[in-house]
Amino acid sequence: MKNIMVAFMGLLLLSACQAPDATNNSSENTVIIEGSITGATVDKMYLLAERDRQLIPLDSSVIENGMFSLRAELPLPEMLFLQFDGQPDYFRVFAEPGKLRLKADAQQVAALEVEGSASHDLYMQALAIIEPFENEIQQLFAPLSNPKVAMSSAMQDSISLLSDAVYERQNAAIQAFANEHIESPVSAYLLNRYLIFDMDYATLNEMAEAYKVLQPDSRYTRMLTERATLLSASAVGAMAPDFALPNTEGDTIQLSDLRGRVVLIDFWASWCGPCRRENPEMVKVYAEYHPKGLEILGVSFDNKAEAWHKAILDDQLTWMHVSDLQGWSSSAGALYGINSIPHTVLLDATGRVVAHNVKGDALRRELDKLLQ
């Protein structure tokens, strides 16, 4: 984070020496997209924007002689999407207020050419950095999609570990690019698209605070801030948000009823391969530390009770388990901002959050301190 703050302070000093722009006419809040397209099989296309993680239409255009024209209110640079009528694929355009010229091939989404948007140019630079990592990940997972290749659990574990390492390198590269271009909306967009669900509260909050000064009106700044606010409730040092859910017998278990004991909340699901592969180690931890005062509370993201119960029995998970059987809409998961599993939250005996996703020897060291 040091590099982010250095970049942030430099830009803040620069902006302090600049007079604000007093003009705000309507043309500066509008984007006009004109372009040509080949290979289209339909005669209509739409301009879309993302709102609340859903795409909504801003404008539409009939394609005449391979030409189209779109217009929308756009006060700030933003990622927009062009989609053909009835087609699942879309073009991404990092648009800015003003006039943009596009040249597209309906059969090759990646071949889009955009003129008039410095933000789109910067976005394409970022994609050039990201693409090799995505290709590497696709190659790693290719055997899993081949029905002729028998994949053992050990092979799946190996692929998972290798892909995790690639994702870490990709995330580091994206973070470095975002730091270098922190003044651009593209920076905040990349964090929202690629990193927001992998960042801990401290990192995310520091970045959100920087963007709130540099880009206070950007929707991407708002999204980072909202995520940071959500994670603050279960950040290290905070009192764990309380919840009450039914166990496998239908009886309600409330987290706060476990106060006085060290608790490891384990968010998981029967259908989650990485979760199931973590379970043998979790069984060992429970056998070693439960006699010393550790409680594990499994919170399942399952939808079906039968699959949930079977996984508990098959994996010999003898600790407490709860679920509202709402899958990714789990009420407890929402409280803790859980967007990927497995995810663990370690609480001390007072109910205060000690750590997230600590495992292996690091988990044992934490438990030794808490249970001494």
pLDDT at residue 10, as a whole number? 43
- The single-letter code of the amino acid at 300 is S
Domain holding 96: CATH number? 2.60.40.1120
314 DSSP 8-state letter: H
List per-block mean pLDDT (blocks of 10 residues) for the chain, which spans 372 residues: 45 37 57 93 94 93 95 97 87 96 88 95 98 94 78 79 92 96 96 94 94 95 96 97 98 98 98 93 98 98 98 98 98 96 98 96 97 92
Show which of 72, 97, 116 is a domain's final residue.
116
Query: H helices of 264-304, where?
Result: 273-289
pLDDT at residue 148, as a whole number? 75
Assess whether 248 and 363 both reside in one domain: yes
**Domain encompassing residue 135:** 120-232
pLDDT at residue 19, as a whole number? 34
Show which of 101, 116, 131 is a domain's final residue.
116
pLDDT at residue 236, as a whole number? 96
Assess whether 177 and 191 both reside in one domain: yes
In-domain check, residue 159: yes
What value does the CA radius of gyration of the chain take, rounded to a whole number of Å? Answer: 24
SS3 329: helix
SS3 53: coil
Show which of 88, 116, 144 is a domain's final residue.
116
pLDDT at residue 27, as a whole number? 62
In-domain check, residue 364: yes
CB contact at 8 A, 245 and 267: no
Block residue for tokens 């309600």: 252
Pick from 277, 245, 30: which is nearest to 161 by CA? 277
CA 129/CA 190 separation, integer angstroms = 12
Q: What kind and span of H or E run contains 101?
A: strand 98-105
Q: What kind and span of H or E run contains 100?
A: strand 98-105
In-domain check, residue 273: yes
Assess whether 249 and 360 both reside in one domain: yes
CB contact at 8 A, 264 and 297: yes
Give 3-state DSSP helix, strand, coil % of the chain, rounded to 5: 45, 25, 30
Assess whether 224 and 135 both reside in one domain: yes
SS3 32: strand
